[in-house]
């Protein structure tokens, strides 16, 4: 309700927004004595999922503002995000029903990353896929996820009608081989090399959301072209 998950009973007031499942959105209109002059036309499907996205920490009001206005690149990604939310919810439900042990999560690639010059990188929607049994992780592009979801739906239809759904790995839309993924990045300044100075420090390895994934221990040692240590004079 209003983008927040509710796990127990609760009361509702006029103009409360409720989402049931992945696609069913409802606006409660109270009895005449409870109503006011609010414009209800703004409560469309995108508004409901915007609230849900904001509850998950992704809102154009707080991300990438430019002169008080939303960054156009963030705004475009935001619309992609809210459109993909019900698809991810459906994929998670199919995975749960079929005991595939996979969890799908929406992420914004390069949300908090920049290049070596400090410029923002292009932001795109990706889907993080985690195996809850093996802890293996994959990152799918939006196009790959949508293609896989169509295949999942075909398999799921056979499952709910009681048909045989056993498939080999290559034909299973829930399966992917182990692959290398981009964990995160860290910026390391090399100014000490200009003075032939040794530098030892630690820095955070940040993922695309700006969250710490690891700590890098760095040792920068000036060397000659032959690899020998160059002392500072």
| Complete DSSP assignment for 126-158 | EEEEEETTT--EEEEEHHHHHHHHHHHHHHHHH
- The answer to whether residues 85 and 145 belong to one domain is yes
* CB crowding 128-150: b at 16 or more within 10 Å, else e: bbebeeeeeebebebeebeebbe
Q: In which domain, by residue range, is 216 found?
A: 183-233
- The answer to whether residues 105 and 12 belong to one domain is no
Measured torsion, CA atoms of residues 73, 76, 78, 82, in degrees rounded to the nearest 10: -170
Spatial CB neighbours of 44, under 8 Å, sequence gap ≥ 6 = none
How does residue 59 score in pLDDT terms, banded at 50, 70 and 90?
Answer: low
- The answer to whether residues 164 and 85 belong to one domain is yes
- The answer to whether residues 172 and 189 belong to one domain is no
- Answer yes or no: is pLDDT of 5 > 60: yes
- The answer to whether residues 79 and 174 belong to one domain is yes
Q: Which residue in 211, 159, 165 sits closest to 185, CA to CA?
A: 211
Mean pLDDT (the chain, rounded): 79
161-219 pLDDT, tens digit per residue, is 888 877 788 889 999 998 888 778 888 888 888 888 888 899 988 877 777 888 999 98
pTM reported for the whole predicted model: 0.66
* Domains contained in the chain, number: 3
- The answer to whether residues 166 and 100 belong to one domain is yes
């Amino acid at each position: 309700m209003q983008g927040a998950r509710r796990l127990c009973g609760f009361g509702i007031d006029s103009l409360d927004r409720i989402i049931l499942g992945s696609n069913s959105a409802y606006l409660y209109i109270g009895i005449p004595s409870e109503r006011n002059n609010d414009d209800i036309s703004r409560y469309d499907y995108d508004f409901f999922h915007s609230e849900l996205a904001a509850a998950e920490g992704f809102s154009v009001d707080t991300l990438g503002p430019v002169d008080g206005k939303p960054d156009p690149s963030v705004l475009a990604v935001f619309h992609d995000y809210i459109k993909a939310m019900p698809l991810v919810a459906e994929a998670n439900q199919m995975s749960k029903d079929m005991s595939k042990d996979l969890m799908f999560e929406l992420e914004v690639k390069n949300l908090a990353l920049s290049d070596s010059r400090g410029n923002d990188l292009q932001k795109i929607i990706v889907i993080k896929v985690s195996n809850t049994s093996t802890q293996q992780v994959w990152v799918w592009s939006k196009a790959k996820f949508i293609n896989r979801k169509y295949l999942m739906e075909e398999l799921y239809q056979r499952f709910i009608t009681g048909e045989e759904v056993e498939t080999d790995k290559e034909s299973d839309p829930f399966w992917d081989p182990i692959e290398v993924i981009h964990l995160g990045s860290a910026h390391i300044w090399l100014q000490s090399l200009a003075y032939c100075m040794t530098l030892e420090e630690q820095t955070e390895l940040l993922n695309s959301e700006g969250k710490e994934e690891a700590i890098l221990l760095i040792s920068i040692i000036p060397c000659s072209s032959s690899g020998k240590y160059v002392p500072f004079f």
